[in-house]
Structure 1
Amino acid sequence: MNNLLPTTTAGSLPKPSWLAQPEKLWSPWKLSGDELTEGTHDALRLSLDDQRQAGIDIVSDGEQTRQHFVTTFIEHLSGVDFEKRETVRIRDRYDASVPTVVGAVSREKPVFVDDARFLRGQTDQPIKWALPGPMTMVDTLYDAHYKSREKLAWEFATILNQEARELQAAGVDIIQFDEPAFNVFFDEVNDWGVAVLEKAIEGLTCETAVHVCYGYGIKANTDWKETLGAEWREYEGIFPKLQASDIDIVSLECHNSHVPIDLIELLRGKKVMVGAIDVATATIETPEEVARTLQRALEFVDADKLYPSTNCGMAPLPRSVARAKLAALGAGAGLLRGELSS
């Protein structure tokens, strides 16, 4: 692994067409039972190989074993009824039909631990595993039981902590919590969101990360971005609290976004996963473009704390595009590494 500017991805990679319909979020599985287990593990191996070939240093499962970054985890919990659905506003951006919390939530058994163990057996490289963050989980449900976003978030944090401890024991090096909701509910983030996140990482000795982005390249997100103006300053409202938190790494969106790069200064001292690949377009970045984005970030984060990454997950993109973007990320980080070492 490259010790300087180690590359990684924010999350999902596209699934093969024999496993699920390509270029679609929430795409249903084309296999079932034992065939599905075997198929997702085959897809995980392919995803891992794509990352290796692109020169990605810290690898992941590409989220091949889950349909969705939030709901697949929730499906394994008790207290949530997936038949009983309500329409709620997700991230204050779009309406969606979501499951209902009908009773006390709990985790009867591990959710991703077997998959993580399988990934660990496939590679000697450091591995990163993504879990949904507590606030984003709350924002993806209708709560008919706790009647309090904060109370439900604390319950989820306890459950996530159980899962995270077992993922660590299975050999995961970095556990990442996906919190797109942090980019929307700033008062809640500062009032209780970061505290709840710290509950989720309690007692962990592996590294921890939080991923806060502007979302997949889907219409609801791109429409929302159009309303944000020439400068996207959302991070300004949450970075000071994250900088003071126990989280080791903050993952953010930079390339092709209107995020002022100097906001990274607010995280000084933290490791930063700098998103240098735009997931909302099929245009392939050049290695030089990637290197430029990373170079600009270096004014505000020390080189030994910069992790080149993607802006967000790439599940909705064609596989050939995602592979080319991964290669650009690996090559771009290599260019800058060469400059820094010379």
Structure 2
Amino acid sequence: MQPNPIRTTVIGSYPFPGWLEFASQNLDQFGQADIEEMIEDAVVAAVHDQTTAGLDVITDGEQTRLDFNLSFYGYIKGLQPNHSETRKFGPPAHDQRGKHSIVEELTAPKGLGAVREFERLKKLAPAGPTLKASIPGPYTLSGRMLPNERYKDRYDITEALLPFVRKELEDLVAAGCTEITVDEPSMSCYAYKEDTKRFVDIFNRTVAPVVGKCRLSTHLCFGNFKGRPVGYRKIHPMLPDFLDLAVDEVHVEMANREFDEIELIAEFAQKMDVAVGIIDVKNYYIETVKDVIERIERCLKYIPAEKLAVAPDCGLSQTARWAARQKLTNMVAGAKKVRLG
């Protein structure tokens, strides 16, 4: 059970400052020392916004990740960009994200970079909030890799990536990380048509070495590339199998779905804490404190306060920073009012 009732948390990502967006498109003009300085400054900005809002749990805002999956691909040997497989024109959507061909055995000799991110966060964050690391699970991580003769399908690729993620989780715990989210939105997106028991087996084998050694959560959403969903946006196909996920907390997307299936959080609450997405990261309507209070009270009809956390639906990287900042501030203010009765 979580340490505080109605804990306020985030998923992982946070908007880049505008200058980092520019710099990331012109990296050839910067030296390595310049780049490291920019990254630290960006993490400081992300931490500042989160701590100013008053969150109980913060992250580094994933300020080193230019793409949810593809940034990790830079750590994996055996991949080659395959631009011919990617749609380049038309409305922005998930199929415009880059794909990669597998050209040799997949290896990750230097890990996946999450430990270095966490060490930087420890150095730059103030005392007080819980520091959380996040990393994609192997099924989600496999999503932009193309099968070949060696890796016949997505599940073969997933099995090749699983040891990399598992080792990164072990190394995060060894580095002192006490809270980790394993992001598996691909599992929630495809639960309606894939074998959910197989998903649970993959997930539980991935996290097995760190179960009980940190507060472990998983993030299940329906996609947010360029502010757009990609999956079938229903929770019921995940049940009952996802109740067997070896986690302390599950995050579910609710605000963007108008709290459809909110009653199903009661089923999750029998096995784990639930972080409910009560802030819509795809909408530029700024939820008021009153909105937040009403949404939390709605959740409390199905779950006790000591098992409830509140968060945005997804990471905030696709939301403008000014909006993200105000949304978080109002979320925390509303949660505090409900706690105080």
Place the TM-score, normalised by the shorter chain, in its bin: 0.7 to 0.9
Instruction: List per-residue Cα deviations over 1:214-267 (Å, max 9, x = no partner).
Output: 22273652xx68xx6xxx5x2111142221221221111112414221121221
Is 1:123 aligned to 2:148, yes or no?
no
When the two structures are superposed, what TM-score results if normalisation uses the length of structure 1? Answer: 0.87
Q: Give 1:311's aligned residue.
A: 313
Which one-letter code corresponds to 1:149 in the other structure? R
Segment of structure 1 superposing worse, 47-56 or 5-14: 5-14
2:6 is matched with which residue? Answer: 5
Distance 1:282 1:29 in 2: 29
Cα 1:220/1:273, change in 2 over 3 Å? closer
Farther-moved stretch of structure 1 (121-130 vs 203-212): 121-130
SS at match of 1:64: coil
Percent identity between the aligned chains? 27
Spell out the pairing of 1:182-201 with structure 2 (5 A cutoff): 182-186=187-191, 187-201=193-207
Instruction: Return the alpha-carbon distance in structure 2 between the equivalents of residues 180 and 17 of structure 1.
Output: 27
Gaps of 5+ in 1: none
Matches within 5 A, 1:239-258: 239-258=239-258
2:25 corresponds to which residue?
28
Q: How far, CA to CA, are the matches of 1:48 and 1:2 in structure 2?
A: 21
User: Distance in 1 between the 2:57 and 2:85 partners?
Assistant: 38
| Corresponding residue number in structure 2 for 1:14 | 15
Q: Spell out, residue by residue over 1:47-98, the C-alpha distance to the aligned partner (whole angstroms, 9 max, x if none).
A: 111111101011101111111121111210112223x445269xx9635441
- Structure 1 letter corresponding to 2:285: T
Matched to 2:145, the amino acid is L
Distance 1:282 1:21, change over 3 A: farther
Match of 1:172 among 177, 197, 202: 177
Q: Deviations over 1:287-323 (max 9, x none)?
A: 1111221221122222111111110111122211111
SS at match of 2:144: coil
Distance 2:177 2:42 in 1: 19
2:294 to 292, 295, 300: 292
TM superposition shift of 1:170 = 1.6
- Give the alignment's Cα RMSD to 1 decimal: 2.4
The one of 213, 235, 241 equivalent to 2:221 is: 213
Go from structure 1 to structure 2 and tell me whether the alpha carbon gap of 1:184 and 1:2 turns closer, same or farther (over 3 Å shift).
closer
CA drift at 1:123: 3.1
Q: TM-score, normalised by structure 2?
A: 0.88
Q: Which residue of 1 aligns with 2:158?
A: 153
Corresponding residue for residue 79 of structure 1: 78
Q: Are the equivalent residues in 2 in contact too, given 1:254–1:293 (CA < 8 A)? A: no
State how far apart, in whole Å, the 2-side matches of 1:86 and 1:209 are: 36
Q: Per-residue deviation at 1:333? A: 0.8
CA contact (8 A) 1:41 1:65 kept: no
**Given that residues 158 and 199 in structure 1 are in contact (C-alpha distance below 8 angstroms), is that contact kept between their aligned partners in structure 2?**
no
Q: Does 1:181 align with 2:183?
A: no
Secondary structure, aligned partner of 1:20: helix
Between the two proteins, the alignment pairs up a number of residues equal to 324
Distance change in 2, residues 1:308/1:29 (3 Å): farther
Residue range with higher mean Cα deviation, 56-65 or 30-39: 30-39
Q: Distance in 2 between matches of 1:195 and 1:32?
A: 44
Call closer, same or farther: CA 1:85–1:118 in 2, change over 3 Å. same
Structure 1 stretches of 4+ moved >6 Å: none
Q: Deviations over 1:14-35 (max 9, x none)?
A: 111111149xxxx636555221
Task: Give how far 1:106 is off.
Answer: 1.7
From 164, 168, 180, give the equivalent of 1:163. Answer: 168
Unaligned runs of 5+ in 2: 88-92
> 1:45: which partner in 2?
44
Following superposition, the deviation at residue 191 of structure 1 comes to: 3.9
Question: 1-side partners of 2:179 and 2:132: how far apart?
Answer: 5
For the residue of structure 1 that corresponds to 2:100, the secondary structure is: strand
Instruction: Tell me the secondary structure at the aligned position of residue 276 of structure 1.
Output: strand
Structure 1 counterpart of 2:143, which letter? D
Report the counterpart of residue 266 of structure 1 in structure 2.
Answer: 267
